Structures are given as structure tokens and as C-alpha cells.
Structure 1
Amino acid sequence: MLDDTDLLILDELSKNSRITMKELGEKVHLTGQATSARVAKLEDNGVIEGYTIQVNQDKLGYVTHAFITIMTEGIYHQPYLSFLKTQEPYVIHNYKISGDGCYLLECKFPSNAELDQFLENLNKHVNYKLSIVINK
């Protein structure tokens, strides 16, 4: 069971996973050594699964942000999943969902023309509903 200090540690690490244990300890009112032990315990228990970076897709030139609800015709999804593997530069997340579709695909594209080409190729495998992000 997590206590309030563990939750504070997780909150601070989610803001800056590169923070030193000493700095983190100061924020959660523990010594650096005690903080390090807490973080190690959170890792060992699988609460912290890993550390990552957040990439600014706009600065990489991927300015068109789309959510695509995928509707497959049957239970055989492999053609769609194989197609996605060839489109990795565009795909941020592919969530299997319940509700209006089978998957919710989050993508970024450098242009509307590349989005259009992606959708033409996608439509060979599945039907879809497109939503474009206007603003975060």
C-alpha cells in the first residue's frame, strides 16, 4: 500500500525523473538515502516501471495530430496490426478499446497530405472515424 510520501515521490518523479535523490528528498522531507530506498522499493514492487522522455512532436515537424477510431470488419485484426508496424513514424499509441470501435489510434503527421495518404492505405484494411486535434 502506498502512503502519502510515496505518492509525493511519484508526483515529483512524474514532473522530473532526472531529479537527484537529494533534491527529491528535500521536496518530500526525507534524506537522500531514505528517498533512494523508497524509490528502489517502488521500482522493485513494480509501481515504477521505467523512466522515459517526452518528445515535442511539433518541433520534429509532426504538426497534424489525429485520433482515429478503428472499426474492423471481423475478428481477424492482423492485416491492420501488420500495416501499423510499417507506419511507426506516425503512430504514437494504438489502444485496444471497447465501445464505438476496436482500436483508438493516436498519430502525428508532418502534413495533411501525409495524413491523407496514411488514411487511404489504412482504409484498405479497416474502416475508421477521424478526429483532428485543434488545441491541447
Structure 2
Amino acid sequence: MLDNTDRQILEELSKNSRISMKELGEKIHLSGPAASARVEKLENSGIIEDYTININQIKMGYFVHAMINIFTKSTHHQPYLSFLKTQESYVIHNYKISGDSCYILECKFPSNEELNEFLIRLNEHVNYTLSIIINK
């Protein structure tokens, strides 16, 4: 069961996961070692699973951000999943979902031309609908 201090820790780490334990402690009115012990407890209990970063895709050279709803052609999804392994430079996330489609594929592309080539190859394995992200 999380208490208010745990919730404050999670809120602060959500804003900046690189915060020092000393600074975290100051923000939540604990010592650095006490804050560190609380964070370790949250990690060990599985509440905190990972630390991550947000990458500016445009500055990395990816100008097209797409969400693709995937409709498999059969119940055998392995050809699609194998294809994705060869496209790791484009794929951000592949979410298996419930609903009308089987997966939602989040991708990034440096150009519309590379998106088009990807879609041609993708269509050999699945059907899809495409949405381009205009603004975050």
C-alpha cells in the first residue's frame, strides 16, 4: 500500500528520473538516504519497473511519426512479428491490443518515402490503417 510520501516520490521521479536522492529528499521532506531507501523499496516491490528518457525524434532526423492499426490476415502472427524485427530502426512500440485491430504500431520515419516503402513491405504480412501524428 502506497502512502502519501511514496506518491510524492513517484510524482517527482515522473518529472525527472535523474534527480539526485538528496534533491528528491529535499522536495519531499526526507533525508537523501531515507529517500533512497524509499525508492529502493518501490523498485523491489515492482512499482517502479524502469527508468527511461524521452527522445526528440525530429532532432534525431525522424520527421514522420505514425500510428498504424494492424489487422492480421490470419491467426498466425509470427510472419508479422518476424518482419518487425527487421524494421527496428522505424519501430518505437508494437502494442498488442483488444478491439477492432490486433496491434497498434508506433513508428518513426525520416521521410514520407521511407514510410511508403515500409508500408509496402508491411502489407505483405498484414492489413493496416495509418494515422500520422501532427502534434504531440
TM class by smaller structure: over 0.9
The normalised TM-score by structure 2 is 0.97
CA drift at 1:53: 1.9
Q: For residues 71-119 of structure 1, what are the alpha-carbon distances to aligned partners after superposition, in whole Å with 9 as ceiling and x for unaligned?
A: 0111100000000000001000000011110000000100000000000
Number of aligned positions between the proteins = 136
| Runs of 4+ off more than 3 Å | none
| Alignment correspondent of 1:116 | 116
| Alignment correspondent of 1:99 | 99
Q: What is the SS of the residue equivalent to 2:69?
A: strand
CA drift at 1:48: 1.0
CA drift at 1:59: 0.5
CA distance in 1, matches of 2:131, 2:53: 26
Q: Which amino acid aligns with 2:114?
A: E
| Alignment correspondent of 1:79 | 79
Q: What is the SS of the residue equivalent to 1:79?
A: helix
Q: Which amino acid aligns with 1:105?
A: L
CA distance in 1, matches of 2:98, 2:48: 27
Question: Which region of structure 1 is more displaced relative to structure 2, 66-75 or 43-52?
Answer: 43-52
CA distance in 1, matches of 2:61, 2:33: 42
Aligned residues: CA RMSD = 0.8
